[in-house]
């Protein structure tokens, strides 16, 4: 474990626990995988750039079974109510991304305040909740933190493929500071696994084309 502040330990410890215990893995298979808190591009593809609609949160199924995401919920650090009920089936090893616009639409349908995910650009906590079986209550399943330098224009943060290190994906807005996690030059990857083991080989590759992939 290198260069990790204490803040990461709860979520990382949980992952380690899950990976070390097959039974727990089967029961607690969904993790937070990547977070875009300060979008400056049209990530949700609706034709406009919006600080709320273009935020996104990616989850990953690290278990062995197909999971129905409709029992899972997302929220940030403020208040108690979830910001989005997830939906869809997710296969083992797959990821699913949910955009702020989906949270806004869900909130409209619920008749609650349309705050979206409300991911603070100065840092925030994202919580993954799950409906307790046989109940309407929610239980906390996974927590991820990010800090100010991880939430600048079009910079995401999330797990490395090793599911151990929480890294910066800053190819679209390189981080030159000294805080951890530091710059990787990796591109944000909404809806696909966080595949990047190091700096992008050729910085001259067009960021425009990189962005276009995800529009």
Binding site for Ca ion (CB under 5 A): 34, 37, 42, 44, 46, 53-54, 58, 76, 78, 118-121, 124, 189, 194
Instruction: State which residue, 53 or 184, has the beta carbon closest to Ca ion.
Output: 53
Nearest distance from C-beta of residue 130 to Ca ion, angstroms: 20
**Rounded CA gap, 29 and 62, in Å?**
5
- β-partners of residue 144 are 126
Instruction: State which residue, 124 or 170, has the beta carbon closest to Ca ion.
Output: 124
Other CB atoms within 10 Å distance of the CB of residue 31: 23
Query: Is 54 exposed, middle or buried, given 0-12, 13-18 or 19+ CB atoms closer than 10 A?
Result: buried
Instruction: State which residue, 24 or 115, has the beta carbon closest to Ca ion.
Output: 115
Nearest distance from C-beta of residue 195 to Ca ion, angstroms: 8
Nearest distance from C-beta of residue 6 to Ca ion, angstroms: 21
Instruction: State which residue, 27 or 108, has the beta carbon closest to Ca ion.
Output: 108
**Rounded CA gap, 190 and 95, in Å?**
9
Nearest distance from C-beta of residue 133 to Ca ion, angstroms: 29
Instruction: State which residue, 24 or 49, has the beta carbon closest to Ca ion.
Output: 49
Nearest distance from C-beta of residue 166 to Ca ion, angstroms: 13
Closest CA to 62 of 88, 96, 31: 31
Cβ atoms of residues 179 and 147 within 8 Å: yes
């Amino acid at each position: 474990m290198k260069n990790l502040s204490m803040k990461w330990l709860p979520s990382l410890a949980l992952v380690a626990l899950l990976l070390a215990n097959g039974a727990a893995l089967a029961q607690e298979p969904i993790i937070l995988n990547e977070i875009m808190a300060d979008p400056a591009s049209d990530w949700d593809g609706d034709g406009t750039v919006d600080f709320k609609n273009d935020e996104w949160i990616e989850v990953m199924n690290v278990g062995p079974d197909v999971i129905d995401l409709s029992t899972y919920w997302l929220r940030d650090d403020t208040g108690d109510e979830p910001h989005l009920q997830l939906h869809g089936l997710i296969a083992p090893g797959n990821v699913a991304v949910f955009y702020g616009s989906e949270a806004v639409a869900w909130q409209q349908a619920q008749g609650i305040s349309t705050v979206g995910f409300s991911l603070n650009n100065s840092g925030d906590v994202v919580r993954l909740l799950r409906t307790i079986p046989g109940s309407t209550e929610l239980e906390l399943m996974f927590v991820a933190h990010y800090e100010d330098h991880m939430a600048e224009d079009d910079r995401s943060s999330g797990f490395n493929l090793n599911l151990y290190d929480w890294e910066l994906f800053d190819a679209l807005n390189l981080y030159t500071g000294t805080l951890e996690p530091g710059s990787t030059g990796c591109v944000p990857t909404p809806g696909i696994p966080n595949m990047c083991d190091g700096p992008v080989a050729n910085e001259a590759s067009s960021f425009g084309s990189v962005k276009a992939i995800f529009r």
